[in-house]
Amino acid sequence: MALEDAKTQVDHAFTRDDLKGPSFENVFGGATSFLRRKYTKDLRGVDIAVTGVPFDQAVTNRTGTRFGPRAIREASALQPCDAPYGWGYDVLSEFAIADVGDLAFDYANVPAFPATLQAHAQGILDQGAALVTLGGDHSITLPLLRAHAAKYGPLSVIQFDAHTDTWADDDFDRIDHGTFMYKAVKQGLVDPARSVQIGIRTDNPDTLGFHILDAREVHRAGPEAIAERARAIVGDHPVYVTFDIDALDPAFAPGTGTPVWGGLSSHQAAVCLRDLAGITMVGGDVVEVSPPFDTTGATAIMGAHVATELLCLWGWTRR
């Protein structure tokens, strides 16, 4: 059946009738929505919406993450023929997933960007769909946290990252991918006592009370133990999962703005994400994929897999 479908399916992003099920169109052709899901702004009946936020004007080093959503979508064309491995269920067949496209914003009016993104996210959540976001630099997570906290109250966060992003910055009009989590805590969006940061390997003395499971601890204890500890920390609290691709070692994800050696392997990240199954995930993102710094496309492949795992995590408790 799959072979026959592959002969006739094309541009499933526009031509598919159903929001559920696999797609067998040729990996190397067709329109590249995320996992060949249908492009639509109509969220009636949609369980999970995927959106892209091509914004990278808050970085401290290399730009290029504005091209992240497009590259992640292209890389995801490798995946929609089969159920995601290791989960024991097929999120693509059991849940209605739509790609709502990218956020529209005025690239020359940077101060207006956070409110524009927050309104975009709230509009999706208000229609009853969950949201997984493709970045973009990590500053986009703050408006996303605001939108989710408005619906669910103060959140637990599981953050995969080389950096804590809790550097002090009391100018709340500034947009910075290194201070957004400080602002999220100060604004009451995130409860650090019930949150965990995984893969950290840069120094920041003030962690604001976050539980830190740094990269060395991941290597020492193993991803299974790290996931178990993270689940215990967040409990049954609503959880937002944010995955900065620089949590991975540059050997696995060189295409990012602030790479740091000694990071997680792709295996460690995959096991950790899958073993988080059972958390009350309400939303998530994958950020900091910068395609210009990775001619192999490996970093975008990592991003596509992470985003798929986030869909699976969300669906696990709602099957």
Q: Which residues contact 18 (CB under 8 A, 6 or more apart)?
A: none
> Is there a binding annotation on residue 138?
yes
> Is there a binding annotation on residue 148?
no
Q: How far apart are CA 264 and CA 245, in angstroms?
A: 10
Could you list the beta-strand ranges (E) of the chain.
Answer: 38-39, 48-53, 97-102, 130-135, 156-160, 196-198, 211-213, 238-244, 280-287
> Is there a binding annotation on residue 126?
no
> Is there a binding annotation on residue 137?
no
Specify which residues 166 forms β-bridges with: none
- Site of tokens 């991975």: 248
| Helices and strands of the chain, counted as H and E runs | 11, 9
> Is there a binding annotation on residue 17?
no
> Is there a binding annotation on residue 161?
yes
CB burial of 45-80 (b: ≥16 within 10 Å; e: otherwise) equals ebbbbbbbbbbbebbeebebbbbbbbbbbbbbbebb
Residues of the binding site for Mn(2+): 138, 161, 163, 165, 244, 246
Residues of the binding site: 138, 161, 163, 165, 244, 246
